Amino acid sequence: MDMTNKLCVITGANSGIGFETAKALAKKGAYIVMVCRNEDKAIQAKNEILQTVDDAGIAIVLCDFSIQKEIHKAAEEITSRYKKIDVLINNHGFIASERNETVDGLEETFAVNHIGYFLFTHLLLDNIKAAKKARIVNVASDAHRAGEFDPENIQLQENFSPMKAYGNSKLFNILFTKELAERLKDSDVTANCLHPGVIRSNFGQSGEWYISLFYKVFGVFMTSNKEGAETSVYLASSDEVENANGAYFKNMKAVAPKKQARDMEAAKKLWEISEELCDLTNQPEIQL
């Protein structure tokens, strides 16, 4: 697919696979909107991309995805500036070292990794639908296999652990993608998700000491950020997946996630819970 001047919104684009995704799509001629939490790091990442692609179009929008007010603000900035969004890549990720609650009263990993995807996508969806053959790409993980969907303990008020919270959030990314794809099936928009690989990055530094140690010891055997970005770039730009919708990809191939990740009743229930937590229940249903 010709990506020239296609508008690509990428969250967490200042480092790791988000940065490599942004750079790869900029090389293809896309206009990149980097949605990042830290302005200094975002500017540095933008300048690094411009050193490689000197004529790249790149904008920065700031957002802390743990705060719903900031998600609303970032989405409003994007939708007021750009009437059409060709590609949305929800890429940002986080793992808390202990159970913390955000200003919205949500467990932090759940808030950033799931609600961040859900609410941001919801707020941008009209502008995504305005583009021709738009795509939504959600970065999930095979860590979802350690997760579970328990509506009664969705924010792990009981039996919290950092890896449990992270695994749950990645399962929720897939369930969200499934339900979103179902709602988009009669539209011109597709939604897919992916496992990028076990990435050699600084991601694990926010978790428990043993997570950081794992990354330090086994980092040499892990996938590079550039390799980890390949499936995101593929889903954003390849003609081969033009008609793919609701699929889970690994190494640029559609694969089956765990059974619960394919449970459409769970996907629908998660969507309803998420609407309530984002105070969207009194708003009109997404009309396609």
Per-residue model confidence (pLDDT) at position 278: 97
Which of 133, 151, 66 shows the shortest CA–CA distance to 102? 66
Catalytic residues: 166
End-to-end alpha-carbon separation of the chain, Å? 24
Percent of the chain whose pLDDT exceeds 70: 89
Q: What does DSSP say about strands 135-139 and 190-195: parallel, antiparallel, or unpaired?
A: parallel
Q: What does DSSP say about strands 58-62 and 253-255: parallel, antiparallel, or unpaired?
A: unpaired
What is the count of structural domains for the chain? 1
pLDDT digits (tens, 9 = 90+) for 43-84: 999 999 999 999 999 999 999 999 999 999 999 999 999 999
pLDDT digits (tens, 9 = 90+) for 141-179: 999 999 999 999 999 999 999 999 999 999 999 999 999
Q: What residues make up the domain containing 226?
A: 7-277
In a domain, 43, yes or no: yes
Which of 161, 163, 179, 67 shows the shortest CA–CA distance to 112? 67
In a domain, 121, yes or no: yes
Per-residue model confidence (pLDDT) at position 198: 74
In a domain, 192, yes or no: yes
pLDDT digits (tens, 9 = 90+) for 195-245: 998 754 555 555 555 455 444 433 444 578 899 999 999 999 999 999 999
Whether pLDDT at 104 is above 50 = yes
Per-residue model confidence (pLDDT) at position 59: 98
Rounded Cα–Cα distance for residues 176 and 194 (Å)? 12
Sorting pLDDT into bands at 50, 70 and 90, what band is 1? confident
| CATH at 28 | 3.40.50.720
Rounded Cα–Cα distance for residues 97 and 73 (Å)? 27
In a domain, 284, yes or no: no
Question: Is the Cα torsion angle 74, 82, 249, 225 positive or negative in sign?
Answer: negative
Per-residue model confidence (pLDDT) at position 282: 58
Whether pLDDT at 288 is above 50 = no
In a domain, 239, yes or no: yes
Whether pLDDT at 255 is above 80 = yes
In a domain, 285, yes or no: no
In a domain, 160, yes or no: yes
